[in-house]
């Protein structure tokens, strides 16, 4: 429950920031072109709001709704989710959106997307300035990786070290390496000191999404970082930080997963643990707890293997942030083609899937990296040419520019309704997938 709350708070905080910035983009451009903004709300407020105020001599009501599914900026004289038919039935007023030329209206509509992308670049820049860019090169993972059954079935083996995809060097483990491997024709790995070439079949990404087993995880030795408690089984048996566990009841356990796998089958049992201390192999008998644990924490792989850190000065961070933002957007757009496959559709997730992107414990860098990534997603999704989204309004405005006449208001109204129905259906479907995954796992 505690982990759920920590993730939920991060999710709400992150989405609140993104929604406020997005709607502020619409707001500031509308005010710039002297278009009246009637409401500026975080979250939606059907029937009532949690908080609202209207400053003296202001035309805008500011507030917080009770339904945390986004937010909105109600622009006067615009067919939007408010479906204000009474206002649209009246003659156009100079301060209304519909009375302005197509150019200003187009800028008002794309402002939210623009602000979200600029926010992502700003966050990436500040992350690079404050924390730098630290990563673990694939070539430094001396024990290679564990691979899912999907990848083992096409020739990968646990312990393989990724080298190249279609003869292009794979530098770091992450989304880029995963994308490169699934889209390559051949991948080269280092296996037992020799290079091996693995042929990659077509449709590997679809297989990964269908099997839901993922790609790979880092393989590293189980070196004790600290003991959970002075009275833990490991502490009472005399194990110490920096001891390296290498066997359980005579079964070789060279890496972390092998240790936890063997202990998981020995709950509340006396086990013989082999370990190295100061280069000397020793053993000790320990009784595991009800979960098969010894009460120890391992040293993470980025502390065992040599990492690379790129540092940036304040002014250097901005071009680096732009490159990272553009690169992230390109990667996300590239992945979108899989959404329109059967496997991709079943992989869609809602708020539960988004919440799981955040760590179980607060980590400032991870929170802001995730927020920047979500800001890029929000920008891209909003610019899609779907009625009710910013991109839908942009398409109708471009039609107006080309055809030199506005679409009929009734048509725009019906298009808005259709778009909202599609979005709600997608919202229900994506969150339904989350619920199914929760009960099926």
- Residue-wise pLDDT for 351-370, tens only, equals 777 888 888 888 889 999 99
Answer whether residue 407 shows pLDDT above 90: no
Rounded Cα–Cα distance for residues 183 and 185 (Å): 7
As a whole number of Å, the end-to-end CA separation of the chain is 18
CB neighbours (10 Å) of residue 187? 26
pLDDT digits (tens, 9 = 90+) for 88-121: 667 778 888 888 888 899 999 999 999 999 999 9
Rounded Cα–Cα distance for residues 78 and 215 (Å): 46
Rounded Cα–Cα distance for residues 26 and 19 (Å): 11
Residues 6+ apart with CB under 8 A from 317: 125, 126, 128, 129
Answer whether residue 347 shows pLDDT above 80: no
The H or E element that residue 222 is part of is: strand 222-227
Tokens of 221: 């030795």
Dihedral sign (CA 16, 19, 22, 23): negative
Nearest to 437 by CA among 350, 370, 359: 350
**What's the pLDDT band for 402 if we cut at 50, 70, 90?**
confident
Predicted pLDDT at 255: 93
Rounded Cα–Cα distance for residues 179 and 93 (Å): 52
Question: Which pTM was predicted?
Answer: 0.84
The pLDDT mean for the chain works out to 88
**For 37, phi and psi rounded to 5 degrees?**
-105, 115
381 or 122, higher pLDDT: 122
Predicted pLDDT at 397: 86
388 or 12, higher pLDDT: 12
Nearest to 212 by CA among 64, 361, 27, 343: 343
DSSP E strand boundaries for 137-185: 145-147, 161-165, 168-169
CB neighbours (10 Å) of residue 439? 6
Q: Rounding to the nearest 10 degrees, give the CA dihedral for residues 247, 248, 252, 258.
A: -100
Rounded Cα–Cα distance for residues 380 and 377 (Å): 5
Residue pair 347/432 in contact (Cβ under 8 Å)? The answer is no
Tokens of 186: 């051949």
Predicted pLDDT at 343: 67
**What's the pLDDT band for 24 if we cut at 50, 70, 90?**
very high
């Amino acid at each position: 429950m505690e982990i759920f709350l920590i993730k939920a708070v991060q999710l709400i905080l992150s989405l609140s920031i993104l929604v406020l910035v997005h709607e502020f983009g619409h707001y500031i451009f509308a005010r710039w072109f002297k278009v009246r903004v009637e409401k500026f709300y975080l979250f939606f407020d059907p029937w009532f709001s949690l908080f609202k105020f209207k400053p003296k001599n202001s035309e805008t009501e500011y507030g917080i709704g009770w339904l945390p599914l986004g937010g909105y900026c109600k622009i006067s004289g615009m067919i939007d989710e408010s479906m204000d038919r009474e206002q649209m039935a009246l003659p156009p007023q100079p301060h209304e959106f519909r009375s302005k030329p197509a150019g200003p209206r187009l800028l008002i509509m794309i402002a939210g997307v623009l602000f979200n992308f600029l926010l992502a670049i700003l966050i990436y820049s500040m992350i690079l300035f404050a924390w730098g860019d630290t990563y673990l090169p694939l070539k430094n993972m001396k024990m290679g990786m564990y691979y899912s059954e999907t990848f083992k079935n096409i020739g990968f083996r646990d312990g393989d070290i990724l080298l190249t995809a279609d003869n292009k060097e794979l530098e770091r483990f992450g989304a880029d390496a995963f994308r490169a491997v699934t889209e390559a024709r051949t991948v080269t790995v280092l296996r037992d000191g020799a290079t091996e070439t693995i042929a990659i079949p077509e449709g590997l990404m679809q297989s990964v999404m269908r099997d839901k087993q993922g790609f790979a995880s880092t393989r590293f030795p189980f070196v004790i970082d600290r003991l959970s408690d002075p009275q833990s089984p490991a502490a009472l048996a005399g194990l110490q930080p920096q001891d390296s566990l290498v066997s359980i009841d005579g079964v070789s356990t060279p890496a972390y997963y092998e240790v936890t796998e063997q202990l998981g089958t020995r709950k509340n049992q006396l086990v013989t643990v082999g370990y190295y201390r100061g280069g000397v192999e020793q053993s000790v008998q320990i009784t595991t707890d009800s979960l098969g644990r010894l009460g120890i924490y391992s040293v993470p792989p980025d502390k065992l293997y040599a990492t690379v850190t790129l540092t940036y000065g304040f002014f250097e961070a901005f071009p680096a942030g732009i490159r990272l933002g553009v690169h992230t957007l390109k990667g996300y757009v590239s992945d979108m083609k899989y959404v329109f496959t059967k496997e991709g559709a079943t992989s869609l997730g809602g708020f539960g899937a988004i919440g799981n992107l955040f760590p179980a414990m607060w980590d400032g860098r991870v929170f802001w990296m995730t927020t920047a990534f979500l800001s890029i997603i929000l920008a891209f999704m909003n610019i899609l040419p779907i009625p009710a989204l910013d991109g839908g309004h942009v398409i109708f405005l471009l039609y107006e520019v080309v055809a030199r006449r506005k679409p009929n208001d009734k048509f725009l109204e019906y298009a808005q309704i259709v778009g909202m129905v599609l979005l709600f259906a997608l919202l229900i479907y994506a969150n339904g997938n989350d619920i199914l995954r929760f009960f099926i796992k």
